[in-house]
Amino acid sequence: MDHKTTFGLSQNQVKMIAAAAMVLDHVGAELFPQLTILRIIGRLAFPVFSYCICEGSRRTHHPVRYLTRLLGMGLLCMAGYYIYDGTVYGNILITFSLSLCALYAFQYARTRWAQGRPAARLAGAGVLLGCLGGIWLICSWIAVDYGFIGVMLPLFAELPVAIFDRHAAAETERSTVRLLGFSVGLLVLSLQMGGVQPYSLLTLPFLFAYDGTRGEKNLKQFFYWFYPVHLLLIGLVSLCI
């Protein structure tokens, strides 16, 4: 986020809450499927990391490196899934990689549109529509975690800001609008998926409490490796049992 508050949760703290929820979710799915409460708690994870992808797309100084690192880790996990059970599964890192592609295409289209020339606007619209169409096809061909709407969730945060910017909004107002748009997207995703997914809306108080700071320590590498490592450990426990 762009706003600062005198109290609240740093990005590290919000991500640690999401990471703990993800562990419980996967433990429930793999080891204790009868404990629905673990899957409910797990619904807190995806929205937090999805919103952080939105934040990262705006803040990173190396967009290509950011996407490459995320996609590489996603493909590594994809290979692990295939070795484990023989299925081609677009894990959550693939979802976030596609979200980044959509966000970058949207940022490009906004830049082109601001130039005002018809040719530039046409080029921007073409890139955006082509990217979204490609993502839709990928989600149709393989099972991508949270599906097309899940991939598009960060865009729900950016779309209203693109409109609101016309009124020269302050940074704090942009942050509020971004979170409101994200909330609408999360509601749409919850209604589409059903089941325990509506419990993901319980994430919103944590996101609104996020104070815009990273936290005292740089935990970027920890969060990159957290996903594959915790899945590997849970998988090994499952095999032992």
Q: Consecutive sets of 10 residues in the chain, 241 residues long: mean pLDDT of each?
A: 58 94 94 94 96 91 93 91 83 96 95 88 94 96 95 94 64 81 96 95 94 81 88 87 78
Tell me what pLDDT residue 2 has: 45
Residue 81, judged by CB atoms within 10 A of its CB (0-12, 13-18, 19+), counts as: middle
Tokens 């935990």 correspond to 219
Closest CA to 108 of 174, 57, 168: 57
CA 140 to CA 130: how far, in whole Å? Answer: 15
Distance CA 118, CA 238 (A): 57
Q: Which residues pair with 144 in a beta bridge?
A: 90
Length of the chain: 241
Structure token digits, residue 123? 């080029």
Q: Is residue 195 classed exposed, middle or buried when 0-12, 13-18 and 19+ CB atoms within 10 A define those classes? A: exposed
Q: What pLDDT is stored for residue 6 in this prediction?
A: 45
**Assessment of whether the complete model's pTM goes beyond 0.75:** yes
| Alpha helices (H) in the chain, listed in sequence order | 11-30, 36-42, 45-59, 63-85, 92-115, 118-141, 147-164, 171-193, 204-209, 220-240
Q: How far apart are CA 61 and CA 233, in angstroms?
A: 33
pLDDT at 168: 46
Between CA 149 and CA 152, with CA 223 as vertex, the angle to 5 degrees is: 10
Alpha-carbon span 45 to 35, nearest angstrom: 17
* 143-144 and 89-90 strand pairing: parallel
pLDDT for the residue 170 = 61
pLDDT of residue 169: 54
Do 232 and 80 form a contact (C-beta atoms < 8 A)?
yes
Would you say 11 and 54 are in contact if contact means Cβ atoms under 8 Å apart? no
User: Quick check: helix, strand or coil at residue 143?
Assistant: strand
Per-residue pLDDT at 67: 95
